[in-house]
Each structure stands twice: as structure tokens, then as C-alpha cells.
Amino acid sequence: MHQTKWIILMIIIACQLIVVLDASVMVTAIPEIGRSLHMSTTSLTWVQNSYVLAFGGFLLLGARAGDLLGRRRMLAIGIGLFSLTSLLAGIAPTAEFLLVSRAFQGFAAALATPAALALLSATFVEAKERSRAIAMYSAVSAAGGSIGLILGGFFTDFVSWRLGMFINVPIGIALLYLVQKFIQKTEIRTGRFDLWGALTSVIGMTALVYGFVQAADYGWRTTETWIPLAAGIVMLTTFVLIEARAAEPIIPLRLFASRQRSGAYLGRFLMVGGNFSLFFFIPQYLQNVLGFSSFEAGMAFLPFTVAQFGMMYLLQGLVRRFGNIKVLVAGLLIAIIGTLWLSRIVSAQAHFYPEMFILLAIMGIGAGMVFQPLTVMGLAGVEPQNSGAASGLINVAHQSGASLGLAVLITVFNGSSHAEQASNVQFANAISHSILGSVVFVIAALAATLLCLLPARQVSPKQALQVNK
């Protein structure tokens, strides 16, 4: 790989790492944040959701902005704004200030992320180089969450949870310099921003997640739950209608014409819905039931992270021998087995080692086999002018899966135990049910793979050959 290409790849990976890491860096710090900013359990969920919702909701607009205004420009703007809002989140004096700063962080990430992935696609055009670059990008995207848990726990125990935000500032400044030096300007095109499409998608996603969070607090039979859920469905339906009629939509619906691409987007949505939620529930179980410190709870995910990164070095050989689809199915099956087994052993009397240690490693192997094939399939056969939209859609599936999955499984948790008054036994039982809910999400991801990907491979061998290269 040419040295300049290697530097560009490192810039893209570093950008993706800080963006993904910030979705989880607060998780192990949540108890301390609640104490320092006087936040209730319900309001603490928005430390995660405000970031993830803004990230996922504005990704489509960010992808379109990159296509029209230039990807290097949007990458630089996104990194700069991300650094500034990280500083603001780090100095937040109140809960409201923190949540607003986190939302703007998510917006900044939505500008930078699709531009970074589109630049990767444009820089690495040779099949072998692209496959290797996507493998590294996917490994960082998938493992960034568990890395965030470890760093967040370390900062909380030994310095301050605020350092998890401050550290983005020097990294962002360095990235801005490298972007200007090594990444060439991309073409600026004339066109329109589909503002109504962007607004309806953001409002629809936010309303849906808010409805599920309300269900966790008030139950399913209240207007506090059904009004936001109904509003979310109406707004997302409106979004689809707008995109079907817009002259220049932020997400061309023709991207869904390929059954394999549609299956890859749906599979990613469901897989992340189950996987990301584990990063929220398991650290709470380790701290509240087994008595781990914040750092120990983060370090507990080390077997998951190591196994996931280790798969990066084995995956290329597996894909060359068996193809993306078979590797993807095998990874999903391994993830299902590990997560299901984990849900059965979680209890107030459980021990982390060796059972949970081994199962987290197994789950990391499964996750490490899933995300690269899904990324490759989500970009397969996309025209160059739609690469930004396709990369944005991959990340929309990732972030919307994270936010909706967490919101759904919080209702499972609260339905099993009232978290404020729960004993260790009740709390552990509720966590077990939540992890079982994660299993349902991953099984649904496997079903999407089998129903949407395998039939397309049989009907269109030429397209399947392209995906499996």
C-alpha cells in the first residue's frame, strides 16, 4: 500500500475511532455523572441517546453535504465541530448543558463519518486494497465501543469522566492538520439539499426512541408512550414519501433495489441493536451486582475487544475461501450462541472468570466476523455519485440500530425490575432478560441475512460474485 494511501487510511480510521468511541465512553462513567450532575436514572439514558440520535438522524444530511460541498471540506468541518463540542461537553456545569453538547457532538460526527467512508471508497479502488482497508475500518468501527468502555472506566476511576471528552480536542486538532496536508480536495457539485427529508428522518427517529423510553417509565397503555411512537411512524412514513418524490433525495431509494444491499443494511441495524445494548447493560451489572469499579467494568470487555481485533487478521483468508455470506452467517451464529449462553449464567451469584470471560471472547469473535461483510455488501455495486449516500446509509443503520435497540431493551429491563428499588437478585434477573432480548435482535439479523442475501445470490450469480471478491 502506497505511503500516502496508508496515511489517508490512518486519518479515516482515527476519525472513525473517536466518533464510535464517544458513543460508549460515557457508559462506565454513568453512575459518577449522575452523582456529579445530579441526574436521575431516566435522564442518564439521554447521555447516550442524545449523541446517538443526533449522529444517526443527521447522517443522511451529512452524506448529501459531502456529495455536494466536497468530502474533504465536510470531513474537516465535522472534525473541527466535534473537537469544539467535546470541549463543551467536558466542561459541562449542568445536566442540560451536557445533553445539548452531546447532541451537537452527534451532529458533528454525522458530518464527518460519511465523508470519511466515501473518501476510503474513492481512495482504495483496487479490490485487494479496498478489502484490506474496509477490514481495518470495520474492525475499528466494531471494536470502538468496547475500547470506549475501557477508556471511560479508566478516566472515571483515576482522573475524571470529563477527560473522555477533553482527549478529543488534541486528537481533533492533529487530524485537521493531516486532513489539510494529505487529502486532496474533492469535486464540488451543484444540487439541492433535501432539508425536509432530513428533518422528517431526524424527528421520526427521535420520536420513536423517545416513545420506547417513555414506555420503560410509564408502560405501553399511556398517551406519553403512544403519541411519540405514532408521531415517529408518521414522520418516517412521510420521509419515505418525500424521498420517493424528491428530485435530489438525501437517500436515493434505488439503493434498496439490490436485495443484498437491503439485507446488509437491515442485518447491520439488527445486529447493532443487540450488540450495542450489551455495552450498556453488562457494565451496569458488573458494577451494581458484582461490585466492579468503573475501570474494572471497562477492562472486563478486553476479551471481547481482543477477539474482535484478532479476527481482522483472519477474516481476509476466511472471506477468500468461503465468501462474505458464509462468513457472515457463521459470525451471526457464533454471536447468538455466546449471547444466549451469557443470558443464562448472569445472576447475583455469578463469577466473571472463567464463564463470562470466555463468553465475551466468543461474542467478540462472532462480532468480528460480521461487520466487514456487511460493509462490503452495503457498498457493492453503488455508482460513484451515490457512494456518499450509501456510506451514510450504512452508518444510519448502525446508529439507528444502537439507539432503537437500547430503547427497546430498556423497556425489557424495566419490565423485569424497577431499577430504583431493585435488589441484586432482581437487578441481575432484569439484566438477564435484557441480554436475552439482545439474542432476539441477533437472531433477527440472521433471518434478514438468510431471507434477503441468500436468495439474491442464487438469482443473480454475477452480482454475488462481485460481492464475494
- The predicted-structure confidence for 245-263, as pLDDT tens digits, reads as follows 887 787 788 888 788 888 8
Summarize pLDDT for 344-377 with one digit per residue, the tens. 998 888 889 888 999 999 999 998 899 888 888 8
Long-range contacts of 457-465 (CB under 8 A, 24+ apart): 457/260, 457/325, 459/259, 463/258, 463/260, 463/380, 463/381, 464/260, 464/325
**Based on the domain organization, do 190 and 201 belong to the same domain?**
no
Q: Phi and psi of 259, rounded to 5°? A: -65, -35
Say which DSSP state 3 is in: H
Q: Is the pLDDT of residue 166 over 50?
A: yes
Best CA proximity match to 66, nearest among 54, 56, 79, 75: 75
Give me the domain span that covers residue 231: 195-245
**Based on the domain organization, do 32 and 111 belong to the same domain?**
yes
Q: What is the pLDDT of residue 464?
A: 42
Q: What is the pLDDT of residue 468?
A: 45
**Based on the domain organization, do 147 and 213 belong to the same domain?**
no
Summarize pLDDT for 219-230 with one digit per residue, the tens. 888 888 899 999
The model carries a pTM of 0.80
Summarize pLDDT for 179-206 with one digit per residue, the tens. 998 888 777 777 677 788 878 888 888 8
**Based on the domain organization, do 306 and 231 belong to the same domain?**
no
- Give 370-393 as a DSSP string: THHHHHHHHHTT--GGGHHHHHHH
Q: With beta carbons less than 8 A apart as the criterion, state whether 69 and 115 touch.
A: no
Summarize pLDDT for 405-438 with one digit per residue, the tens. 888 888 888 877 654 555 788 888 889 999 999 9
Summarize pLDDT for 250-298 with one digit per residue, the tens. 778 888 878 888 888 999 999 999 988 888 888 888 988 898 998 998 8
Domain count, the chain: 2
**Residue 454 — very low, low, confident or very high, per pLDDT cuts 50/70/90?**
low
**Based on the domain organization, do 112 and 17 belong to the same domain?**
yes
Greater pLDDT, 389 or 328? 328
Q: What is the pLDDT of residue 388?
A: 64
Q: Count of H helices and E strands in the chain?
A: 20, 0
Mean pLDDT, residues 307-326: 85
Domain end point (choices 212, 245, 278): 245
**Based on the domain organization, do 250 and 370 belong to the same domain?**
yes
Whole-angstrom CA distances from 269 to 36, 405, 436, 467 are: 34, 9, 17, 20
Top-confidence range, 60-69, 250-259, 263-272, 452-461: 263-272
**Based on the domain organization, do 410 and 266 belong to the same domain?**
yes
Summarize pLDDT for 94-111 with one digit per residue, the tens. 999 999 999 999 999 989
Q: Check which CATH number belongs to the domain holding 268 and give it.
A: 1.20.1250.20
**Based on the domain organization, do 187 and 215 belong to the same domain?**
no
Q: Is the pLDDT of residue 41 over 80?
A: no
Domain end point (choices 245, 262, 278): 245
* Residue-averaged pLDDT of the chain: 84
**Based on the domain organization, do 234 and 250 belong to the same domain?**
no
**Based on the domain organization, do 234 and 124 belong to the same domain?**
no
Say which DSSP state 188 is in: P
3-state helix, strand, coil in the chain (%, to 5): 85, 0, 15
**Based on the domain organization, do 284 and 364 belong to the same domain?**
yes
How far is the C-alpha of 208 from the C-alpha of 408, rounded, in Å?
A: 10
**Based on the domain organization, do 136 and 280 belong to the same domain?**
yes
Domain end point (choices 229, 245, 261): 245
Mean pLDDT, residues 440-466: 67
Dihedral angle, C-alpha 311, 446, 50, 306, nearest 10 °: -20
